[in-house]
Chain A
C-alpha cells in the first residue's frame, strides 16, 4: 500500500545533540510537510516542500532545518535540541497545494530530549 513512513517511532536524544528524523513516501506526492505536536496541543506546521521549493513558517525556530534530497524522502534536522523540543513530529504529504488537497500523515516520531 502507498503510504507515508516515519522512522523511528521513538527517538531519544540528549540536550544539544543534533538529531535527524526521517520520512519517506510511496505516494509520489509533490508536497511534504513537517508538523510538530506537543502534548495536548494542536499540530503546528514547521515547514513544507513543494517539490524542491522549501517554505519555512515565520515562527519556526532556526534550530529546525529540513532537507528533501528527492521526491520520496524528507528529513527534519534539529541542530541543538532543547527540552522544549520534545514532541511528536508528524510528516505529511499532499499531491499538490490548495485547500482541497488532503494531507496523508505518517505515524509520527515521538522525540524525547534528556
Chain B
C-alpha cells in the first residue's frame, strides 16, 4: 500500500517556465516532508523540506507547498533550468521511534532548452 504517491512518472517543461511536481500522502501521522533530487548514476540528494506546522518553505528557486487538509504537497521550481532535469522523490516522515522515511516512486523532470 503506497502511503506516498507521485502520480506523474514524468514531466516536461521549457527552460524558464515553472515546474510543478506533485505528491500525495495517505498517512495522517506524517508530519515532515522532504524532496530529494536524483541525477542518473548518482544517489539522491536532499533538496528541500517542510514541517507540517508550515504551509510553505522557500529556498531560492525551489518552493514546497503543503496542504494538510488535502494531504498534498507540491514542489515548484521557478524558473526551471536544464540542470534541473532529474528524478524528484517526495518523502515523508512520521517521526516517533520509527526513524523511517517513506518515499514516493519519483517523477522524472525534463527541462528543455
A contact set with B: CB distance below 8 Å? 4, 6, 9, 31, 40-45, 48, 50, 55, 57, 90, 92, 97-100, 102-108
Contact = CB atoms under 8 A, between A and B. Distances in A.
Nearest to B96: A99
A42 B104 contact: yes
Interface residue SS majority, chain A: loop
A90 B87 CA distance: 15
Contacts of B4: 42
Nearest to B6: A42
A31 B99 CA distance: 10
Contact of A92 (B34, B43, B106): B43
Interface string B73-113: 00000000000000001000101000111111110000000
A9 B41 CA distance: 9
Nearest to B106: A42
Q: Which 7 A-B pairs have the closest CB atoms?
A: A105-B43, A99-B32, A99-B93, A42-B103, A102-B46, A97-B99, A43-B103
A4 B42 CA distance: 11
Contact of A41 (B43, B100, B105): B105
